Structure 1
Amino acid sequence: MVKCPRCGYDNSINAVYCDNCAYRLTDHKGRYIKNTKRVNKWDIGIARKIVIVLGIIIIALLLFSFIYNNTQPSDNETLNVITDDGSVHKTASYPYEAVILYEGSWYAEMGNPNYLVKESGYGPETFTLDCAAWDRVAIDAQKYDYGEGEFKVQLLRNGEVVAENSTTNVTGRIVINYNY
């Protein structure tokens, strides 16, 4: 029996090639090749293996990040409303505005009830509220100067008044809660 130096298979004594892997067992003069250490082309050090694996992981993460970031819809696309008939109604990124109509000084808290923004001012002002179309909106406004004029607050959605309240009381306070 002749042992193949490549795969270790026991071949017949007359075999020129290994019956298992077709490795040449004799040289050009017909002499059997001695068993030598099997050469592994992939025999690399552990450090190189770690570097290769880490490199593959980093490339995979970068590729995933690139694909994820380039497939996410923009802010305007996420605020579009698709109706039952499949048509798309485009809305503004922030469709709500608060309008305070008063000729004196005032103070207001407005926006999403969980994240109210505090503003104060003098005279009429309009604020774009950081609320999406599906958010609840709250406005709590009050006169600061105890004036006698009309204090009016409006909530606009895409430019149309959806809620409005006013008072002429000197300590006038207005609260608007709007659920789309």
Structure 2
Amino acid sequence: MVKCPRCGYENSATATYCDNCAYLLTDHKGNRLNNNKRTSSWNMGVAKKIVIVLGIVVIALLLFSFVYNNSQPSSEEALNVITDNGSLNHSDSYPYTAVVKYDGSWFSRMGDPNYLVDEAGTGQKRVLLDCASWERVHIMAQKEDAGEGNLTIQLLKNGNVVAQNSTTNATGSIEINYNY
């Protein structure tokens, strides 16, 4: 009996070709070939074939992932977010400006009541508020240095004072609620 080096089938001692896979077992003179080494690509083990197929699948998935991620719009583009590059005239879009006047240091919160912005400073400061004309506006200001001077806040809409409040109290805190 001669074992086929390709498929392992037991052939008769006189067989020239494997009865199972037709692999050449003898040369043209009838001598048995030394088939201890596997030379055919069919002799590759099943485990090696599985590793190669899995490698190809992984490479394909990585390539697909790369192409997919690079072809998607950014989060801002996907949400149609408009960003300000400084070319817009904010007074048209945001008509409200807050003015805080105090000779000492002060702290304030101002803007849409659901989205207040902290501001601090010394002396007078004008702050453009991120509020549309139909939104409510809230301004709170407080003295930080317990001074005796006058703390004044003004709300301007399109440049005109629409609300104002002031205090001379040393621990003074004042508010404006507009469009309620």
Q: TM-score normalized by structure 2? A: 0.48
Q: TM-score normalized by structure 1? A: 0.48
Q: Higher Cα Rg: structure 1 or 2?
A: 2
